[in-house]
Structures are given as structure tokens and as C-alpha cells.
DNA sequence: CCTGGACTATTTGTATACAATAAGCTGCAC
DNA sequence: GTGCAGCTTATTGTATACAAATAGTCCAGG
């Protein structure tokens, strides 16, 4: 609901209200709130009340910067550990991405799905549960989720192409190459987001 | 209890048993277990049962590698944001560290305390709640916690000296310098830990 | 002796009740 | 009108009861 924008930043989230809304008791709601808090989607006041977190421009830049660092590290590790079958799986998902963006109107949900699967394979191949745990926390954030919504055709195709390059780096086992492509991949996503976001905000004024 | 080694790796942690042991109900125990799980101190089976995580050599290297990346990033950000008062606070804590390791027998608890405070100031100065959230997760881990226990006098003094260099880098606002010192600082800690750990393990055989 | 299946026991998930605490509000004094 | 005291209400923390799922055990059969 937060990601979908149903709950604007600053909204107070009372356990009881959410429990009613979701038709469960407070106990599982509590668990979920704690998790969302550790994902920084929720901020808690000093008196432990929960509110939907708001994101400043700095927060957004920060999230992308960290994600770029960690995804690059994942790519670096994956390059020397990835199995041939996994490389094949990457090719498969990137073919589906290619198909999703080929038509007149790109199929954004399909793009998102395969993009997520693509990055997940790399994270798995990196073989670091710690890294996976840290990254999972970053990619489930509103900024990242909304990015692709704003991608234009050119950005979608560049993304697809960068994936191809990543596959090539993995096929050669070149860790430095993979890491640098990944850094650029995420940073470009950041700027695409910024462009779309500031354009949107300027239009609103 | 996990950090103190009272609960060896692999031990099953039942909510009820812990509740009895801590003289509280299962509810707060559940909360704590979820948190420890997200810190990777606890591993959960497919059937959601909790066990004390065990740490392979790869896990240890991995944790230090990530910590080096993130602490370096914190130092990089802090270098251009830190306030003079914070630099003074760093000097203060490092003086205390110097005092703690000066005597015949170094005062390890005092070292740990001031070392933690030192790194915390840097993390605060970095001004990134996301980075703080990720790092906190890494530094509350057994490996890191035990490292200083095994430090010999030489390592303690090197650590003290590296802190001095960090302060110099901060005073100049040199982000690249600060980041590279921090990387080295953490990596040296890693090797110090490795030396102590393997020596200990060899002795046990 | 090993295997499979049913039964029992353990353990976690969820619901709910009550306690503690903090926020908001009303009315009074200045 | 402003500020504060006290009360009311909202909200979270904790305890406990029950349901569901899983693991361990024991016995029968091959």
C-alpha cells in the first residue's frame, strides 16, 4: 500500500487500524511493521508510533548510491562464481525483457518481473547471504520500485543492452568488468528517475 | 548470549524456552528473534524454527569485506559533512583509546567502548540513515565483536594510529583519503582476526 | 535390519485481553 | 489570549490461550 502510494508519507499507521483493514489481528501486523521499519519504509516516533516515511531528494540519491555499491559488489562476486546454467537463465530473462519492450507499448510489468529475476540470479550467484540481506532491504524501496514506471523507451533499451554486457562479463568471468557495468547500470537508472521525477514535479508547479 | 558464546552455533532456540529463561512472555522473545534473524545471528529453518547461526570462514571474510565497503563509504560522506565539534569528539575518544592501551595490560572494554563511539560519530556525520541501518546490522556480529579480544598490543596501537590519520583526513575534508584509510583500517582488523583465529584453531588441534 | 506410517509431542502462528504509556483536549487560572 | 493541570482517549507493550504445522517416536511389516 505504501509502494502503491495509497498511504501518503507522514500517515500514521496504527496497528489496530491496519489489523481491521487487513482483517487479521494486531500480532502479524506488528511483525510486518517491524520489518517495514527495518526497510526504512516506516519511521517510528520516539513514542514508538509508526508513520509512513517520507523521502527527501538526498534520501533518494543515497539509496541509489548504496544500491550501486552493493549491486556492483554482487556482480563482482558473481562473475567468478556464476554457473553456466545461471548465465543461461540470465540470457533467458533478458530475452523476455527484450520482448516486453519491443512492442508499440512496452509491457512494464513483464519488464519489472524479468528485471527483478535477472538481478536476483546475480545476487544468488554472488553467494553471500549478508550481501543479499542488505540489498533486499534497499531494492524494496519506493524509489526503486517507481523507477521503471518512468522509463522511456530509450532507457528501457539501454537497460536491456547493459544486461547483455553483464552477461558477456559473466561469461568471461571478468569481475572488474561486471562490477563497472553494474555501477553504471544503477547510476543510469538513478538519473532516469531524477529526470522523470523533476519533470513531473516541475509540471505540478 | 550468542555473542558471549553461551549458545553454540546450531543450538535450537525455542521461543518458549527463551521466554522462561528471560522471564518474559513469548511475544517480546519473538520480536527479538526476528531482529536477530535480520542481523543474521539467527538462521531459520524452512519450518520457521530458529537456530544459532554458524559462521564459515567465507562468512567471516564476507562480513569484513562488506563492512570495509560500507565504513569506507561512511568515511567518504563524513569527510565533507563532519562538524568541527564532531572532529573534536573523535580526538577525545581516540585520546581515551590511547590511554586504554598505554598501560601494562590494555583495558580492552574501554578500548571497545571508545572505538565504538569513534565509529558511531563518523556514521552520524555521514548523515545517511540507510547507510547507518545497513552498517548497524554488520557491526553487531560475533566476528566483529570478538576481534578486539584477540588484538595484540601492536594491533591496538596501529588501530589508534589509523584513527589519528582519519581525524587528519576529516580535518582536511579529504573524502578519498578518509575512505582509503578506513578501508585499510577494517581490512587490517580482518587480518588480525584471521591470525588470532587460525592460531587459536591450530592450537586446539 | 531397514522402511513406512500413524501417533504424540514440540514449536510456531494468530487472536485476544489487559496493562502501561503517551497524545490530545478541555477547562481554569493568570 | 496563553499556558498549564488534569482527564480522556488512542496506541503500543506484554501475557496468555488456542490453532496449525512440523518433527520426533514407536511399532508393524517386509
Residues of A in contact with B31 (CB under 8 A): 30, 34
What is the enclosing helix (H) or strand (E) of A12?
Answer: strand A12-13
- Read off the C-alpha cell for A155: 532507457
Which residues of chain A between 23 and 42 are close to nucleic strand C, CB under 7 A? 24-28, 31
Do B40 and A134 count as a contact with CB atoms less than 8 A apart? no
Do B38 and A129 count as a contact with CB atoms less than 8 A apart? no
Residues of A in contact with B73 (CB under 8 A): 65-66, 69
- Cα separations (Å) of B125 from A166, B169, B182, B184? 35, 14, 15, 20
Cα separation, B136 vs B190, whole angstroms: 18
All structural domains of chain A:
12-52 (no CATH), 57-204 (1.20.120.530)
**Beta carbons within 8 Å of B196's beta carbon, 6+ residues apart:** B150, B151
Cα separation, B145 vs B112, whole angstroms: 9
pLDDT, tens digit (0-9, with 9 covering 90-100), for A154-201: 889 999 999 999 999 999 999 999 999 999 999 998 998 888 777 777
Do B62 and A130 count as a contact with CB atoms less than 8 A apart? yes
pLDDT, tens digit (0-9, with 9 covering 90-100), for B122-173: 999 999 999 999 998 888 776 666 766 667 788 899 999 999 999 999 999 9
**Using CB atoms and an 8 Å cut-off, which of residues 31-90 of chain B contact chain A?**
31, 34-35, 38, 40, 59, 62-63, 65-66, 69-70, 73
Tell me if A158 sits within 8 A of A103, measured CB to CB. no
Do B134 and A131 count as a contact with CB atoms less than 8 A apart? no
3-state helix, strand, coil in chain B (%, to 5): 75, 5, 25
CA of A15 to C1' of D12 (A): 8
- Read off the C-alpha cell for A101: 519492450
Half-sphere exposure (CA, 13 Å, Cβ side) for B105? 2
Listed residue (A13, A55, A73) closest to A141, CA to CA? A55
pLDDT value at A115 more than 90? yes
Listed residue (A82, A172, A174, A171) closest to A127, CA to CA? A82
* pTM passes above 0.85: yes
Cα separation, A6 vs A172, whole angstroms: 45
Q: How confident is the model at residue A145 (pLDDT cuts 50, 70, 90)?
A: low
pLDDT value at B78 more than 90? yes
Amino acid at each position: 500500500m505504501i509502494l502503491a502510494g495509497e498511504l501518503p508519507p507522514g500517515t500514521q499507521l496504527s496497528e489496530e487500524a491496519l489489523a481491521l483493514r487487513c482483517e487479521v489481528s494486531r500480532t502479524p501486523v506488528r511483525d510486518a511493521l517491524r520489518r517495514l521499519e527495518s526497510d526504512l519504509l516506516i519511521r517510528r516516533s520516539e513514542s514508538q508510533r509508526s508513520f509512513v516515511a517520507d523521502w527527501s531528494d538526498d534520501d533518494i540519491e543515497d539509496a541509489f548510491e548504496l544500491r550501486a555499491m552493493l549491486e556492483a559488489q554482487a556482480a563482482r562476486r558473481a562473475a567468478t562464481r556464476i554457473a553456466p546454467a545461471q548465465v543461461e537463465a540470465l540470457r533467458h530473462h533478458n530475452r523476455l525483457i527484450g520482448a516486453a519492450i519491443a512492442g508499440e507499448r512496452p509491457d512494464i510489468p513483464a519488464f519489472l518481473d524479468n528485471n527483478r529475476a535477472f538481478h536476483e540470479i546475480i545476487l544468488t550467484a554472488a553467494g553471500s547471504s549478508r550481501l543479499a540481506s542488505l540489498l533486499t532491504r534497499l531494492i524494496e524501496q519506493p524509489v526503486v520500485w517507481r523507477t521503471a514506471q518512468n522509463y522511456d523507451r530509450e532507457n528501457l533499451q539501454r537497460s536491456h543492452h547493459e544486461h547483455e554486457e553483464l552477461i558477456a562479463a559473466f561469461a568471461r568471468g571478468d569481475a572488474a568488468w561486471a562490477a563497472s557495468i553494474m555501477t553504471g547500470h544503477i547510476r543510469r537508472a538513478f538519473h532516469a528517475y531524477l529526470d522523470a521525477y523533476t519533470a513531473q514535479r516541475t509540471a505540478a508547479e
